[in-house]
A = this chain, B = another copy of it.
Amino acid sequence: MSSSPLHAIMNPSSIAFVGASNNFAKMGTMQCLSLIHNGFPGDVLPVHPKEEIVLGKKAYPLISDLPYAPDLAVLVVPTGLVPDMLEDFGKLGTKYAVIISGGFRETGEGGRYLEGRISDIAQRYGMRFIGPNCVGIINTQLPLNLTVASFQDYNGKLGIASQSGTYVTQTLPYLHKHGITISKAISVGNGTSIDIVECLKYLGDDEQTTAIALYIEGISRAGDFLEVAREISARKPIVAQYVGGTKAGARAGLSHTGAMSGPDYVYDGLFEQAGIIRVDTIEDVYKIGWTLASQPPLEGPNIGILTNSGGPGTGIATTCNRHGLEIPEFSDKVQKKVKQFIPGHASAMNPVDLTFHLDMSIMADKIPRILFDAEEINGVIIHGIMGTAWMDMMFSAVKTMINVSREKFLKLGEVDLDNLIKMPLEYKKPLVISSFFGEEDHSVRVFNENGIPTFESPEKAGRAMAALYEHFRIKNRPHDEPNDVAMPENVKTIVDGVDTEAFDEYTAKKILRAYGIPTTDEALADTLDDALNCAHSIGYPVVLKICSPHIMHKTELGMVHLGIKDDESLEKAFNSIRDNDGDSAILVSEMLTGDREFMAGMSYAPGFPPCIMFGLGGIFTEALRDNAIRLAPLSHNDAISMMESLSSRALLGPYRGMKPVDMDAVASMLEALGRLALDFPQIREIDLNPIIITDGMPKVADALFVK
């Protein structure tokens, strides 16, 4: 833990602050004020050319005037001043910095040069820094706050790393309003010295952080990110939003933090493999993150729902079902217990629908306890605890009729929640609340203050509970390492021997076979006699194809002849190819008669290791685009999970009388493909399509490698 530079940055005993003054219209001033106001316990040393006192602290005219080397330097100064100031701190012996100033790589060429300079300076002095182009960091435990906004909740739970500063400043009041507390928050900015991978690792190790929320515009070390994330997600939930996957998102992100983004489906694969719960809105980053951070784990899919109203109960139930949770009918035993407390016509089955009632202790204590206590139930969702806000709405009408004070009337709405808020810990089962009221309601305030997540739409409560179950499945999935297999002999010579951009099919398949990837049985022929000999040795029917690294679309050119059954047809096919191309070798290959076609491939995305793809193949490839991506190296279970995540996965099973596909055999192919890609980074693209399934076993029928 202490090895992370973030540990030092989050826990300094002294901070020099350059860019704060006594002018409250300046960002730097507000940031230094947050630091002081939120109660940073160490020394704050403002550096200011003119002011003697800044925000009540003695200021120093120059960095070199500082009485000692502070643990951390904060820079909120014009871009051009950053390099020299960083150097001054380096000379002084300060090892860590937070560089708020923007204007670096996100602005183009000049900025990129400046960013390189600060990187060099830091390296020279052995310094590490957050930013530039960020809004700072928060540690609610120390406490420490370098952002322009103050936080209100100390010693929180959710760890945040964000490539947008807004999401650790502008949203602080929003988080407080929703009862969400932060452990540590990091505005990653351009991530020049400390990137999102290092932030993630730090939050993974941080004991105060019980779940991690990420906002991502682009990752430049996806392989390292994967390794770190999959280690963490096996024990601590991670939720993430990725916004760079669309045309507009990529452009907006580039001009924001200069992040290079990749397509959505590549990030889908990365997140799946890493065990990260992907969400599409910042609201879900926070609120699902908070549910994961605040609640005990959900250890099974069975949810009990309690409501005073059919609509929300049905909305919660249907959302839970859609996201993989069960709403089982309660056992007779549980129904009997519930029935003691509900009207005769109300439903005790699940959801329990209390209908209109006035005794809030039934909804907020008696029935919840029955549900928490039921072995058959793993988690509880309640909608309908209405407190003072409901009474307040009623009061506007009631006051016209009776003489009662607002205070007294609202008091009637203060529901006693003392027992309910303790139940999650007591029974080690999660509780999620749905209410159409917000912090204006006493009950919602009590839930917020006690770390019970509340949602203002019933469906969102259901969705959040489902995220807890997603984490349960991630935690319990098999965790295996990629096999460490040496590069096959002789392959390097073959690859090095290729001097064209594309590999010819015969060479490509020879390499595949060296990696243990089964392909069609085949041989090269120059003459008709050669071809006849090959065909006899392989056995009819065979396929004849032109084999040249220069011909990419051989089918369209009429240079593929399928299902050749005898010498006569072979001669005809051979001559037909030769008429068009007198030189290239001709491939004689066994004709596969399988019952299903898949495809596999390899490609790169910016900042990513080789991306391995598996999916539906043959003529459906482009029409259905049903495929999955994982990053190399692949473990066996990574490969299996690719198959399981296909929409058309039923085709892999025993389907319509066909033999089930040997998934281990396919997985081994995909693992080997990953090793091949890592062994030969000069190969930039691989396309194995179709992979034909015969008797349940896969064989590559066509292969394309491109450098």
How many Å from the CB of A624 to the closest CB on chain B? 5
Beta-carbon contact of A393 and B172 below 8 Å: yes
A282 to B256, CA, bound (A): 34
Residues in B whose Cβ lies below 8 Å from that of A351: 252
A185 to B691, CA, bound (A): 58
Beta-carbon contact of A55 and B401 below 8 Å: yes
Beta-carbon contact of A164 and B310 below 8 Å: yes
Beta-carbon contact of A255 and B648 below 8 Å: no
A170's nearest neighbour on chain B, judged by CB, is: B436
Residues in B whose Cβ lies below 8 Å from that of A657: 556
Q: What is the copy number of this chain in the assembly?
A: 2
Q: Chain A 315-333, CB within 8 Å of chain B: the 1/0 string?
A: 1011111100011010000
A311 to B491, CA, bound (A): 47
**Which residue in B167, B326, B400, B438 is a CB contact (below 8 Å) of A177?**
B438
Interface members, chain A 372-405 (any B CB < 8 Å): 384, 386, 389-390, 393-394, 396-398, 400-402
Q: Known contacts A252-B313, A651-B623: does B438 contact A246 (CB below 8 Å)?
A: no
A393 to B555, CA, bound (A): 67
A397's nearest neighbour on chain B, judged by CB, is: B37
Beta-carbon contact of A319 and B30 below 8 Å: no
Beta-carbon contact of B393 and A310 below 8 Å: no
Beta-carbon contact of B310 and A397 below 8 Å: no
A356 within 8 A of B: yes
A interface vs B, CB < 8 Å? 22, 24-25, 27, 30, 33-34, 36-37, 55-56, 102-103, 107, 111, 148-150, 162-167, 170-174, 177, 215, 217, 241, 243-249, 251-253, 255-257, 280-283, 309-315, 317-322, 326-327, 329, 345, 347, 349, 351, 353, 355-356, 358, 384, 386, 389-390, 393-394, 396-398, 400-402, 436-438, 456-460, 556, 619-620, 622-624, 626, 647-648, 650-651, 655-657
A246 to B102, CA, bound (A): 50
Beta-carbon contact of B314 and A217 below 8 Å: yes
**Which residue in B282, B459, B623, B626 is a CB contact (below 8 Å) of A311?**
B282
Beta-carbon contact of B173 and A436 below 8 Å: yes
A626's nearest neighbour on chain B, judged by CB, is: B624
Can you list 6 A-B contacts (CB < 8 A)? Answer: A149-B394, A150-B394, A150-B396, A170-B436, A256-B347, A281-B457
A616's nearest neighbour on chain B, judged by CB, is: B624
How many Å from the CB of A12 to the closest CB on chain B? 20
Beta-carbon contact of A246 and B619 below 8 Å: no
Beta-carbon contact of B345 and A171 below 8 Å: no
A657's nearest neighbour on chain B, judged by CB, is: B556
Residues in B whose Cβ lies below 8 Å from that of A25: 358
A619's nearest neighbour on chain B, judged by CB, is: B656
Residues in B whose Cβ lies below 8 Å from that of A248: 317-318, 320-321, 326-327
Beta-carbon contact of B317 and A251 below 8 Å: yes
A170 to B387, CA, bound (A): 12
**Which residue in B103, B245, B655 is a CB contact (below 8 Å) of A345?**
B103
A34 to B400, CA, bound (A): 11
A309 to B134, CA, bound (A): 11
Residues in B whose Cβ lies below 8 Å from that of A314: 164, 217, 243-244, 249, 252-253, 256
**Which residue in B56, B398, B624 is a CB contact (below 8 Å) of A24?**
B398
Q: Which 9 A-B pairs have the closest CB atoms?
A: A164-B311, A249-B318, A256-B310, A246-B321, A248-B317, A248-B327, A283-B457, A37-B397, A281-B459
Q: Known contacts A311-B162, A314-B217: does B170 contact A349 (CB below 8 Å)?
A: no
**Which residue in B280, B318, B436 is a CB contact (below 8 Å) of A319?**
B280
A242's nearest neighbour on chain B, judged by CB, is: B318
Residues in B whose Cβ lies below 8 Å from that of A619: 655-656
Residues in B whose Cβ lies below 8 Å from that of A329: 251
A322 to B36, CA, bound (A): 43
A177's nearest neighbour on chain B, judged by CB, is: B438
Beta-carbon contact of B349 and A251 below 8 Å: yes
A591 to B353, CA, bound (A): 59
Residues in B whose Cβ lies below 8 Å from that of A459: 280-283
Q: Known contacts A162-B311, A345-B103, A353-B255: does B283 contact A150 (CB below 8 Å)?
A: no
Q: Known contacts A283-B457, A458-B282: does B163 contact A311 (CB below 8 Å)?
A: yes
**Which residue in B56, B166, B174, B310 is a CB contact (below 8 Å) of A310?**
B166
How many Å from the CB of A311 to the closest CB on chain B? 2
**Which residue in B256, B319, B456 is a CB contact (below 8 Å) of A353?**
B256
Beta-carbon contact of A393 and B249 below 8 Å: no
Residues in B whose Cβ lies below 8 Å from that of A165: 309-311
Residues in B whose Cβ lies below 8 Å from that of A436: 170-171, 173-174
A327's nearest neighbour on chain B, judged by CB, is: B248
Beta-carbon contact of B396 and A318 below 8 Å: no
